[in-house]
Structure 1
Amino acid sequence: MAATTRPTHTTRAYIADTLALVLFFTTTGALNERFIAGMTWDQVLHARLIGGVLMIPVGRPYGMWRDWVMRHAKQTRSSQILWDSLALMSFQVPIYAAIIAFSGATGDGLLRGILGAAAMMLFLGRPYGAFLNWIRHLFGLPPGGEKPMSLNN
């Protein structure tokens, strides 16, 4: 019997969800840190390096969280936007706050960064959800929220 080299569903889901998170939020995080939080480019680089490292273990758990939250969404555009935004904000803002605090944001800058991230997550929830589903499609996976993926598949 020949050994298969095709990654399992679980491996593909992990890679897809992590890749989507890293690509999307490295860009948007850097913009928030520099232009909203007022961090220096050195601080932005530090935050993005920490963020990149942290996105690797949280990419898939966030994907699973989003899938679970999106099961509450109806098929209407407004419902999809609402639930995608709530999923992203509730999971990512606390992590992001810790990243920028550890990277040197303090006081007013820290508060602006957290509030900026919260607003950004509300605004970017659905675009990121669509991007995540597109990346999943490229990996031959179903979109989230319709057929929830699990670690046991």
Structure 2
Amino acid sequence: MPVLDTEKPDRRRAFVADTTALILFFTTTGVINERFIAGMSWDQVLHARMLGAALMVPVGRPYGVWRDYVMRRAQSTNRLSQLLWDSVALVSFQVPIYSAIIAVSGASGRGLWLGVLGATVMMLVLGRPYGAFLNRVRRLFGLPPGGTRPMSLNT
């Protein structure tokens, strides 16, 4: 009789959960940064958000795996450690992608630099709130929180 591994999460559910969380959270924050910090027009913001949503589909789960890997360094009982490592994970993975999105969408020169700087600051500040949001979305999908082996690709 085969034994079912109850520790192994459904990969499709993990993909959908991580991608849904990324799209919901960062579509909202992206609009704020692009329009009010980078000074992009509403047409440029719409283009950036559509491009961003299309790119979030293939990067949602890889970011979730990256975050889980980075969060293994955080001390589970230390909120400052969790805040630091969640922010490191988000900035190191998302800022380069975001920079390319707004550049392709029309930001240039000073606006591009302000957008990248604004995104970096936002992601430093939003690292832990997004990590907590991601864990809540994962819980809604019946998955364990990140930073532990069961959410890795190798399980």
| Bucket of the pairwise TM-score, normalised by the shorter protein | over 0.9
Q: Of residues 85, 94, 101 in structure 2, which corresponds to 1:83?
A: 85
1:71 matched residue in structure 2? 72
Structure 2 equivalent of residue 61 of structure 1:
62
In structure 2, what is the Cα distance between the partners aligned to 1:11 and 1:152?
A: 14
Write the mapping of 1:4-43 to structure 2, written as runs, cut at 5 A.
Answer: 9-43=10-44
- Which residue in the other structure is 1:113 paired with? 115
Displacement after TM superposition at 1:131 (Å): 0.2
May I ask how many residue pairs the two structures share in their alignment?
146
Instruction: Work out whether 1:99 is the aligned partner of 2:101.
Output: yes
Range with greater deviation from structure 2 (36-45 or 139-148)? 139-148
How far apart, CA to CA, are the structure 1 residues paired with 2:80 and 2:10?
Answer: 31
Contact kept in structure 1, 2:68 and 2:152, CA below 8 Å:
no
Q: TM-score, normalised by structure 2?
A: 0.92
The residue that corresponds to 2:5 in the other structure is none
Residue 59 of structure 2 aligns with an amino acid whose one-letter code is V
Q: Distance in 2 between matches of 1:54 and 1:148?
A: 25
Cα distance in 1 for partners of 2:48, 2:13 equals: 27
- Kindly state the Cα deviation for residue 80 of structure 1 after the two structures are TM-superposed: 0.3
Q: CA–CA distance in 1 between the matches of 2:69 and 2:150? A: 7
Deviating beyond 6 angstroms after TM superposition, the runs of 4 or more aligned structure 1 residues are none
Counterparts of 1:44 and 1:33, CA distance in 2: 6
Stretches of structure 1 that go unaligned for 5 or more consecutive residues are: 1-7
RMSD: 1.0
Residue 33 of structure 1: SS of its match in structure 2? helix
- 1:59 and 1:24 mapped to 2: Cα distance? 11
The Cα offsets for residues 72-118 of structure 1, whole Å up to 9 and x where unpaired, read as: 00120100000000000000000000000000000000000000000
The 1-side partners of 2:13 and 2:38 are apart by 35
**3-state SS of 1:99 partner:** helix
Normalising by structure 1, we get a TM-score of 0.93
Query: Is 2:148 the partner of 1:146?
Result: yes
SS at match of 1:63: helix
SS at match of 2:151: coil
Q: Which structure 2 segments of 5+ residues have no match?
A: 1-8
What amino acid sits opposite 1:122 in the alignment? L
